[in-house]
Amino acid sequence: MSDHAWLADTRTSYDTVAVSYAAQVREALGGEPYLRGSLATFADMIHDAGGGPVADVGCGPGHVTAHLRELGIDAFGIDLSPSMVAVARRDHPGMRFEVGSMTDLDLADASLAGLLAWWSLIHVPDDAVRRVLAHFRRVLRPGGLLLLGFHVGDEARLKTQGYGGHPMKVYVHRRQPSQVAAWLRDAGFTVEAQTLLDLDQSVPGAVLFARRMAE
């Protein structure tokens, strides 16, 4: 599938479900202590490195971006879906949210202290992941921190309905942490830590901490 096709399908799908999705996830972090712990560790590491801007790429309605701001991080959000960005701006006035794609980030080289892709890389097909990670590396400063969250598995599933029963057309890619870590190393990152979540559930999750290597 071409970039144009899957990006268009993803944008349209999340435009369609934006309001319902926001209502569903608005308080979701409250019931996820391990995810909150990962975000707190990420925030602590950004502070320890001297701070700086952090991009939440694929931010959706901005609830995780806002959580990082509560942790004292200079976070802003980027999302492919204009409707998601509109909801994020509505729910979090005064915060920075913009429309953009992780396949072509409109950010200056070495401009970020950190980057978060929180269950947003899951819609990127395998043949585009390396290009996305190259953009992540480009916009992070040397030593900048990357935090990835994703579904664990070995298959891609077409999601045709979700979040209030609205129609969708997006592939959800489940990947093994070892594969994601290998892609990160090839892209110029060191992988520092891994957390596995919900191991007894049908679809576990994983969180990887990685750091951009110096030149």
**Lowest mean pLDDT, pick from 23-27, 122-126, 181-185:** 23-27
Residue 95, pLDDT above cutoff 60: yes
Report, as an integer, the average pLDDT of 142-155: 97
pLDDT score recorded for residue 142 = 97
The model's confidence at residue 165, banded by pLDDT at 50, 70 and 90, is: confident
**Lowest mean pLDDT, pick from 24-28, 124-128, 209-213:** 24-28
The model's confidence at residue 4, banded by pLDDT at 50, 70 and 90, is: confident
pLDDT score recorded for residue 161 = 87
Q: Tell me: the pLDDT tens digits for 24-51? A: 888 889 999 999 999 999 999 999 999 9
Chain-centroid distance of CA 180 in Å reads: 14
Report, as an integer, the average pLDDT of 60-77: 97
Residues near 155 by Cβ (< 8 Å), separated by ≥ 6? 174
Please state which CATH number belongs to domain 3-212: 3.40.50.150
Residue 208, pLDDT above cutoff 80: yes
* Contact between residue 175 and residue 153 where contact means Cβ atoms under 8 Å apart: yes
The domain ranges of the chain are 3-212
Structure tokens at 176: 């093994």
* Mean confidence (pLDDT) of the chain: 95
CA distance 68 to 75: 6
pLDDT score recorded for residue 164 = 78
